[in-house]
Structure 1
Amino acid sequence: MNETIQPVRPSAIPGYEDWPDWVRQRPRYQASGPAAQELSDALGVPVPSAPEDLQVHGEDTHDGVTTSRLSWQLGFGPRTTGWLVRPAGSVEPLPGVLALHCHGGNKFGGADRLVELPHTHPSAAAARVGHYDGHALATDVARRGFAVLAHDGFAWGSRRFDLADPPWRTASAVDARKAQWREDGVEPSEADLYNAAAGFHEDTVAKASGLLGTSLAGMVAHDDLAALEVLAGLPGIDRDRLGCLGFSGGGGRSLILAALSPRIRTYVVTCMMTTFQSLLPAYLDAHSWLLQTPGLWKLGDWPELTTRSGAGSFLVQYALADPLFPEAGMRDAHNKLKSLHSTGAYTGSFWPGGHVFTARMQQEAISFLSAGLGTGGQRPQNRPTFQPLSL
């Protein structure tokens, strides 16, 4: 009697097989007030893991800043890598900023696109050129007198899923992409192959998240809240002066983090503001699961979520030719934000150009953070000898 041997199905969550048990046993994040709690519950944010085994893997001082590569372990999945960037030789407590990387269709890397490093991976360099006007955002913010932590979010960079042996549905889609590359005479890089797989796999991650009672945005918020605690606990950080900023998907993360954590005093959202109504029907496919958590609209429109934050001030930057948002939706969001917040709490600025965090926009964002967090915004002069980070 011949028995049919069934092929072994690859894991649908490779590298995160410990995630389901962890999240099912985890209570919900308890926010500081009812409005923030509603958002936490809607996203299904687990109580942030206390970062364990925090390590410093090396430091480099160049062009006025010191960059330290850190890592820590959360309760599931691979270790998180982050970079702390601060003015070289700083001795007084510095205001802290969490720099949140974009989605960008590039999950092979993460926060490395925001940091000047001795050896920049080509995928990070391409993201920097394509989305940040060639600038290393976190490093530039640090040069203005901040301690900046940029970390890989859930499913990006060091926290990415292991898609070397992708689940069947993802593998089938990647095979089709490979066939198109062959037809076009394209030789994909390792990052190209991973990002193609990760783009298809995001739907699977969203399915798993929903099944577990959370969401992709909720899991990313979990990692961001944990990183904020890392930043607040580092030596030389003034934990009473903390802010965050981000572009595109990072801008959405900035808004959510500010709504969930009372630690955030001021924040910046760049190229990630519109009304939900304006996304329907033509702009829905332009965005990832980071923005489109099922049922989120029941809490109110996207700009209305800003009222759930206790931050004293925030800046929203809009790009008038942004192909991901209709101009009418951005202007409607701007008008709604003006009606929701008192004078001085909300600042909105409109810029020419597409979905890019331009150098001029970055300068405005950094100046806004300087005003909100109490730094003079001047590059340090006569810097004393650098003191290494000790944990």
Structure 2
Amino acid sequence: GDVAAALGVPAPRATPRPRVVDSWTADGVTTERVEWWVGFGPPTAAWVVRPQDASDAPRPGVLVLHCHAGVKAIGAERLVRTPTPSAAAERLRRDLYDGRALAQDLARRGAVVLAHDTFAWGSRRFDLDPLPVSLRGPVRGAELAWAADGVVPDDEQRYDAAAAAHEHVVAKTAGTLGTSFAGVVAHDDLVALAVLRALPGLDPARTGAVGFSGGGGRAAALASLDPDLRAAVVVAMMTTTQALLPAYADAHSWLLTTPGLLGRYGLPDLAAGRLAHDLLVLSFADDALFPPDGVRAAHDELRTRFTGAPGRYDEAVLPGPHAFTAEAQDRAADFLETSLGTAGLSDGPGGS
């Protein structure tokens, strides 16, 4: 469609079949680490999380989309509790997710959950060793700042310093090839959504997507790109374009600032899609990345658009800064449970 053309989304190939690499059961859910290949670059690592109970009824599926956060050394691991978590995953869960593991929490609600590394993150990241010449200055600057602060960075933090300076190179290259950074990310997300729908025991007609920050923008894009998405939850990624520019543009990555996109399709346009899906938008009163007037105007616009529409719309501006709080995660889980018909389990989302 028009949004796919604006982003330059490459057409996904046939749905790949995931290969199980590892599995474990804990706290009422079974988690599989899987991987597949999209046809270019390294294989995609992902995690499939299911309720441990043995019900044979087809279950709804939820695609959980990791944030940007300036952390590309890992991807979806920040959303999944693993037996040997990386330091980056633990930092991100502590600082941005109230210590929770969203994938396992939603699975305890009765859904089959898929969390994948998207293009440029985690397993899909770029090999920046040795450093390209253009990155040596920025990385040296980061090293001097760490030294001045008495910080000894780990390998993940070193990689992220290089990846931050590399993102504009990726965006420039993608544009030259007729796509965009966000377009290739959307390609990986569409492949993951197809993988989710093909999993055994899943009802492909009941699938949703949820994401925070950059992941929220990805959920909004899927709402426009995938006509069969039943529900989308966009967290901490909503404003009108007019209010965003110019003062707040520099606060955001190339995931949001695709040339020409916001001039034609703002965040409310993306999230509204065809108005046939259920949509929850959660924003935060003290989120420094978004202008408060733009947030309010975008919520008002979406409320108007969904009046009389087939899809259900809900929203809230919650207290606090830019973080996927426990309150917001509970609201997202409740919304998806209602929209997708999840068989809610008694322990709820707080057990991770």
TM-score normalised to structure 2 length? 0.95
Counterpart of 1:70, as a letter, is V
Q: How far off its partner does 1:281 sit?
A: 2.3
> What's 2:330 paired with?
363
Q: Which amino acid aligns with 1:322?
A: D
- Which amino acid letter does the alignment assign opposite residue 79 of structure 1? P
Select 2:28's aligned residue among 56, 64, 71. Answer: 64
- Provide the residue aligned with 1:345 in structure 2: 312
Which residue matches 1:48? 12
Q: Which residue of 1 aligns with 2:114?
A: 149
Q: Let me know the Cα RMSD of the aligned residues.
A: 1.5
- The one-character-per-residue Cα deviations of 1:31-52 (angstroms, maximum 9, x if unpaired) are xxxxxx1100000000013344
What does the per-residue CA deviation read over 1:347-385, in whole Å, with 9 as the maximum and x for residues that have no partner?
11110000011111101100100110112422489xxxx
Is 1:226 aligned to residue 194 of structure 2?
Answer: no
User: Share of identical aligned residues, percent?
Assistant: 51
Contact 2:17/2:195, CA 8 A, preserved across alignment: no
The aligned counterpart of 1:88 is 52
The whole-number CA distance in structure 2 between the counterparts of 1:89 and 1:159 is: 32
Unmatched tracts of structure 1, length 5 or more: 1-36, 382-391
Q: After superposition, give the CA deviation of every residue in 1:145-201 in whole Å (9 maximum; x if it has no partner).
A: 000000000000000001111221112211121122223332111011000001110
Q: Deviations over 1:77-118 (max 9, x none)?
A: 000000000101333211000000000110000100101111
Provide the rounded CA distance (Å) in 2 between the counterparts of 1:307 and 1:354. 24
User: Could you say what secondary structure the match of 2:24 adopts?
Assistant: strand
Name 1:209's counterpart in structure 2.
Answer: 174
The equivalent residue for 2:83 is 118
Structure 1 residue 310: deviation in Å? 5.2
Q: Counterpart of 1:274 in structure 2: which amino acid?
A: T
Provide the rounded CA distance (Å) in 2 between the counterparts of 1:139 and 1:279.
Answer: 34
What is residue 175 of structure 1 aligned with on the other side?
A: 140
Is 1:192–2:162 an aligned residue pair?
no
1:258–1:311: 8 Å Cα contact kept in structure 2?
no
CA distance in structure 1 between the partners assigned to 2:132 and 2:5 by the alignment: 29
Alpha-carbon separation, structure 2, partners of 1:112 and 1:302: 26
The structure 1 segments of at least 4 consecutive aligned residues displaced by more than 6 Å after TM superposition are none
Q: Find the counterpart in structure 2 of residue 296 from structure 1.
A: 261
Kept in 1, the 8 Å contact 2:67–2:212? The answer is yes
Q: Which of 105, 108, 116 does residue 140 from structure 1 map onto?
A: 105
1:301-340 maps to which residues of 2 (within 5 A)? Answer: 301-309=266-274, 311-340=276-305
CA contact (8 A) 2:3 2:265 kept: no
Name the structure 2 match of 1:24. Answer: none
Bigger-Rg structure (1/2): 1
Count of residue pairs brought into register by the alignment: 345
Q: 1:258 aligns with which of 223, 232, 235?
A: 223
- In structure 2, the residue matched to 1:4 is none
Moved more, 368-377 or 49-58: 49-58
1:130 aligns with 2:92: no
The answer to which of 85-94 and 286-295 deviates more is 85-94
CA–CA distance in structure 1, aligned partners of residues 276 and 67 of structure 2 = 22
Cα distance between partner residues in 1 of 2:148 and 2:324: 34
Query: For structure 1, which segment, 304-313 or 136-145, has the greater mean C-alpha deviation from structure 2 after superposition?
Result: 304-313
User: Structure 1's 370 and 53: CA in aligned 2 closer, same or farther, altered over 3 A?
Assistant: closer
Q: Deviation at 1:311?
A: 3.8
Q: Which amino acid aligns with 1:348?
A: E
Give the Cα separation in 2 of the matches to 1:138 and 1:262.
24
**Using the alignment, how far apart are the partners of 1:51 and 1:193 within structure 2?**
34
Residue 76 of structure 1 is matched in structure 2 by 40
Report SS of the residue matched to 1:264: coil
- Provide the C-alpha distance between the structure 2 equivalents of 1:358 and 1:262, rounded to a whole number of angstroms: 29
Secondary structure in structure 1 of the residue aligned to 2:18: strand
Distance 2:282 2:143 in 1: 37
TM-score by length of structure 1 reads 0.85
Counterparts of 2:230 and 2:9, CA distance in 1? 21
What pairs up with 1:102-113 in 2 under 5 angstroms? 102-113=67-78
The counterpart of 1:161, out of the listed 108, 120, 126, is 126
Q: Secondary structure of 1:214's partner? A: coil
Q: Could you tell me how far apart the structure 2 residues matched to 1:104 and 1:139 are?
A: 21
Distance 1:96 1:53 in 2: 17
Structure 2, unmatched stretches of 5+, are none
Q: Deviations over 1:269-323 (max 9, x none)?
A: 0000001111222211110010110001232332122343354210000100001
Question: d(CA) in 2 for partners of 1:334 and 1:380?
Answer: 32
